[in-house]
């Protein structure tokens, strides 16, 4: 049923797209039709595949690093109370600075290779994971904490067996958000400075008025992002099958 619904939505968008092209008679270098994009996908498949692999690697590495760093930060904030006084202001200030403004600095410091793009993706992913996981740790059922205290459980035991399991649905929600925004960091980093990746290819195609290639790269990026999101969502559902809150909302 999900696959059929997704197919209907995709076909509907393509029909609307083609209808707009026909009715407005917009030039192909402004908005190419779906068939031109399909031909570009076939004709430039080798180039698109090479650049797609680079961008996908950047997204996955950024997602892994951002999740690990965000989880460690949330656990530190939840376990060490004095750390909240020092780390929370830094966390808030870091989000007050537009992440996109840091892209040129990261490229300057880390170079035009993959490292700066992974760092950019990591920064974007870090905050949703940290904020959601830490919020879940703080909202542990008070009755469970009182029971652990009455049984003389240590802070580590309480964190490991009560607070972390209770916070996993919140962590899953943060990870879903992080997965959805992960491609943004990689693409922005490639726009600022790179020699490979879908972002670089889109800029290169735009400068040469190869708008069909640009749309083809955008289509691959969209498919990549949606596939990654649903893969993470399916994995979280299997891992947290016991928690109804962990399941994504379906319409």
- By CB atoms closer than 10 A (0-12, 13-18, 19+), residue 31 is middle
How many CB atoms are located within 10 Å of the residue 96 CB?
Answer: 6
Sign of CA dihedral 115, 116, 119, 121: negative
Q: What is the pLDDT of residue 143?
A: 86
Parts of the chain with a pLDDT under 50 = 246-251
Q: What's the whole-model pTM score? A: 0.88
Which CATH number does the domain housing residue 161 bear? 1.10.3720.10
Residue 40 lies in a domain: no
Q: What is the pLDDT of residues 70-122, one digit of tens each?
A: 999 999 988 887 878 888 787 777 777 777 788 888 888 888 889 999 999 99
> Does residue 16 lie in a domain region?
no
Domain count, the chain: 1
Rounded distance, CA 143 to CA 22, Å?
A: 63
Whether 19 maps to a domain, the answer reads no
In a domain, 60, yes or no: yes
Does residue 192 lie within any of the structural domains?
Answer: yes
Residue 118 lies in a domain: yes
Q: Are 190 and 199 in contact (CB under 8 A)?
A: yes
- What is residue 174's predicted lDDT score, i.e. its pLDDT? 93
Cβ atoms 136, 166 nearer than 8 A: yes
Q: Is residue 10 part of a domain?
A: no
Domain span holding position 233: 45-240
Q: Establish if 132 belongs to a structural domain.
A: yes
Whose structure tokens read 């209770």?
166
- Please tell me the predicted confidence (pLDDT) of residue 249: 43
């Amino acid at each position: 049923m999900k696959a059929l619904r997704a197919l209907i939505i995709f076909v509907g968008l393509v029909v609307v797209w083609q209808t707009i092209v026909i009715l407005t008679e917009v030039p192909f270098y402004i908005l190419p039709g779906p068939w031109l994009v399909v031909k570009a996908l076939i004709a430039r498949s080798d180039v698109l595949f090479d650049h797609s692999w680079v961008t996908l690697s950047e997204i996955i590495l950024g997602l892994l690093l951002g999740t690990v760093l965000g989880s460690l930060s949330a656990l530190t904030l939840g376990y060490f109370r004095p750390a909240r006084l020092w780390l929370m202001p830094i966390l808030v200030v870091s989000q007050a600075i537009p992440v996109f403004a840091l892209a040129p600095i990261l490229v300057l410091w880390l170079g035009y290779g993959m490292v700066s793009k992974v760092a950019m993706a990591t920064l974007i992913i870090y905050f949703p994971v940290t904020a959601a996981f830490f919020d879940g740790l703080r909202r542990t059922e008070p009755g469970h904490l009182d029971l652990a205290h009455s049984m003389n459980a240590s802070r580590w035991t309480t964190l490991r067996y009560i607070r972390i399991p209770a916070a996993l649905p919140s962590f899953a929600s943060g990870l879903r958000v992080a997965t959805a925004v992960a491609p943004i960091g990689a693409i922005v980093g490639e726009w600022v400075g790179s020699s490979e990746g879908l972002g670089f290819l889109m800029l290169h195609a735009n400068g040469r008025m190869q708008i069909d290639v640009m749309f083809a790269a955008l289509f691959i990026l969209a498919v990549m992002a949606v596939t990654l999101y649903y893969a993470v969502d399916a994995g979280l559902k299997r891992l947290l099958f016991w928690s109804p809150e962990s399941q994504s909302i379906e319409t």
